[in-house]
Chain A
């Protein structure tokens, strides 16, 4: 490690610019970011840009092959399913469910985690120890089991299982946020700020939060990949989104009966789930590396 650092002009940029500089040096991460933006756009625009109505059944075109085979039609690039619904439109609409709802889940869980983690991080003694034990309990219940219990109490449905996924993601957020808050509280600049007469809230708002948001982003990307996988898995098992909904996991489960006739109807939604998760993981990994390198410089 260099002991003395001179402030050359190009080094002396804001933290965000430095982070971006480190990030764009990693090609895989930039590729992931492009894919991520693509899915984000698809999520927002899907209701407008689908070429056909994803729920419109066309009895004349049942199980049409994809357009690259001889029997396919160019108007239906990925063919149709056993009810004559356009597969491509369904896949596009599916982004809204699998990807969009995963985003909402992670945001909700992050906000709850931030509130609880701040409470746990700023408190000491018995209160924080009770908190830990309750969290340990939550960590021991596997997310699928939690979803099963919630489905048993509230009934199946996309939004009900969203609660299960939020609850399953919550402990890791609270643990992570609490640890990083406690690490930051040990820093000298926090002590200096306290000596200036800052209240707990001011310390949290102006000294702690600006220093942990990077960590928060990395945690959120990791949670997002888990959330996408969980939503798709619950849809596949029939606990989450229900049959006509074009959620990707549900689409795979629907196509299971056709595994001999139309293997592409299983392969395509899976490829999309995989690509979405991969893009999130690439971005997350890239961010983590960029953060590490920025701190080292």
Chain B
């Protein structure tokens, strides 16, 4: 049963990956400029090089063979050169990607820690003043444009109160050797004498971007947990459990919470692509050196190989997260396995 399900998932993922690489491959033709330049990333190609490059990229053969050659290069890690720096695109992505994942995961974590309890509270005490207040604030926070919210917080905390930094991951005073690419683990793994100061500084840099980025997922989490909990509380099995003499807390925990959180798991996967969009905007505003800022710089510089590579990496991340949440959902929910 589960094996069959996993096989079907794998087939679906395979299909999506093929379609995604076809899209990325076709971009070399769709972008303005010469195909050979777009596909290799070399900005000045000498005439004597041209023939060997055309043969290398299989441009003299049919589209299908070109696509297969492209797939091989992707799998070998040859993603072309970036127009602006003439460095391999893949190594640039590897350098910036952890920063995005770090920011997004802290924001997601924050949204779990805040969103689920608040949502549950708003559902259980739906008619109380606090419950209404939570729902009201959620609606307001749901409507705030993220870049404006970020600017307001910068104006308040950085310009007026001058308590938090506006840009970057850590003050330039600290020299942290890169091992994993994630700032906090890097600080802890390094053998520097100013570890605690560096950690504190990194956390201060992290606070504003993480809060800004967490705003949207937290509100979604609150709304969704609340709606799902309210729907579960109306079910007959809750009444049955109450009638059997379980206390309110027992019913809420064993029968309410477990059933209400199932659709919430799924929602994380569905909202993840929005989260990435928001992370990209947040990175630009806070000069966070992640893939969002890198991609937006690439579009300003018309750096086509970089955009192509960014598309592949970001979409793969979203697909993987989607798949993981879906599998988790199926593992926890026997009812979903039948479909």
Q: Is the CB of B20 within 8 A of A274?
A: no
Question: For A137, A145, A151, A266, which residue has the most chain B Cβ atoms within 10 angstroms?
Answer: A145
Q: Is the CB of B311 within 8 A of A149?
A: yes
Q: Is the CB of B139 within 8 A of A278?
A: yes
Q: Using an 8 Å CB-CB cutoff, how does the interface string of A132-148 with B read, 1 for contact, 0 for none?
A: 01101101111111001
Partner of B307, one of A134, A152, A239: A152
Give every chain B residue within 8 A of A259 (Cβ-Cβ). Answer: 151, 155, 159
Q: Is the CB of B145 within 8 A of A277?
A: yes
Q: Is the CB of A270 within 8 A of B148?
A: yes
Give every chain B residue within 8 A of A232 (Cβ-Cβ). Answer: 145, 147
B307-339 residues with Cβ-Cβ distance < 8 A to A are 307, 310-311, 314-315, 318-319, 322
B304 sits at the interface (CB 8 A): yes
Please measure, in the bound complex, the distance between the C-alpha atom of A237 and the C-alpha atom of B148, giving whole angstroms.
12
Q: Is the CB of A252 within 8 A of B151?
A: yes
Give every chain A residue within 8 A of B144 (Cβ-Cβ). Answer: 274, 277
A148-B295 in contact given A140-B322, A142-B276 (Cβ < 8 Å)? yes
Partner of A270, one of B152, B273, B281, B315: B152
A282 sits at the interface (CB 8 A): yes
Query: Closest residue of chain B to A144, judged by CB?
Result: B277
Please measure, in the bound complex, the distance between the C-alpha atom of A137 and the C-alpha atom of B14, giving whole angstroms.
11
Interface size class of A (residues with CB under 8 A): 35 or more
A255-297 residues with Cβ-Cβ distance < 8 A to B are 256, 259-260, 263, 266-267, 269-270, 273-274, 277-278, 280-282, 285
Q: Is the CB of B147 within 8 A of A236?
A: yes
Partner of A278, one of B31, B140, B155: B140
Please measure, in the bound complex, the distance between the C-alpha atom of A267 and the C-alpha atom of B148, giving whole angstroms.
8
Give every chain B residue within 8 A of A269 (Cβ-Cβ). Answer: 148
The SS class assigned to the B binding surface is helix
Q: Given A142-B318, A281-B142, list of 5 further CB < 8 A pairs?
A: A144-B281, A145-B311, A151-B299, A270-B148, A273-B145
Q: Is the CB of B281 within 8 A of A237?
A: yes
Please measure, in the bound complex, the distance between the C-alpha atom of A151 and the C-alpha atom of B314, giving whole angstroms.
17
Q: Is the CB of A140 within 8 A of B295?
A: no
B12 sits at the interface (CB 8 A): yes
Please measure, in the bound complex, the distance between the C-alpha atom of A145 and the C-alpha atom of B304, giving whole angstroms.
13
Query: Closest residue of chain A to B135, judged by CB?
Result: A285
Give 7 closest A-B pairs by Cβ, nearest first: A270-B148, A278-B143, A277-B143, A144-B277, A142-B277, A142-B273, A142-B276
Give every chain A residue within 8 A of B148 (Cβ-Cβ). Answer: 252, 266, 269-270, 273-274
User: Can you list 8 A-B contacts with CB-CB less than 8 angstroms, sorted by A residue number?
Assistant: A133-B12, A133-B15, A140-B315, A140-B322, A145-B311, A149-B27, A225-B143, A270-B152
A152-B304 in contact given A142-B273, A270-B151 (Cβ < 8 Å)? yes
Q: Is the CB of A141 within 8 A of B145?
A: no
Give B residues with C-beta under 8 Å from A.
12, 15-16, 19-20, 23, 27, 30-32, 139-140, 142-148, 151-152, 155, 159, 270, 273-274, 276-277, 280-281, 284, 292, 295-296, 298-300, 302, 304, 307, 310-311, 314-315, 318-319, 322
Please measure, in the bound complex, the distance between the C-alpha atom of A142 and the C-alpha atom of B310, giving whole angstroms.
11
A167–chain B nearest beta-carbon distance, Å: 12
Please measure, in the bound complex, the distance between the C-alpha atom of A13 and the C-alpha atom of B143, giving whole angstroms.
34
B21–chain A nearest beta-carbon distance, Å: 11
Give every chain A residue within 8 A of B31 (Cβ-Cβ). Answer: 152-153
Please measure, in the bound complex, the distance between the C-alpha atom of A143 and the C-alpha atom of B296, giving whole angstroms.
13
Give every chain B residue within 8 A of A142 (Cβ-Cβ). Answer: 273-274, 276-277, 280, 314, 318
Please measure, in the bound complex, the distance between the C-alpha atom of A142 and the C-alpha atom of B19, giving whole angstroms.
16
Give every chain B residue within 8 A of A152 (Cβ-Cβ). Answer: 27, 31, 299, 302, 304, 307
A233 sits at the interface (CB 8 A): yes
Please measure, in the bound complex, the distance between the C-alpha atom of A274 and the C-alpha atom of B142, giving whole angstroms.
9
Q: Is the CB of A136 within 8 A of B295?
A: no
A214–chain B nearest beta-carbon distance, Å: 18
Question: For A133, A142, A266, which residue has the most chain B Cβ atoms within 10 angstroms?
Answer: A142
Q: Is the CB of A233 within 8 A of B143?
A: no
A239-B145 in contact given A145-B277, A148-B307, A260-B159 (Cβ < 8 Å)? no
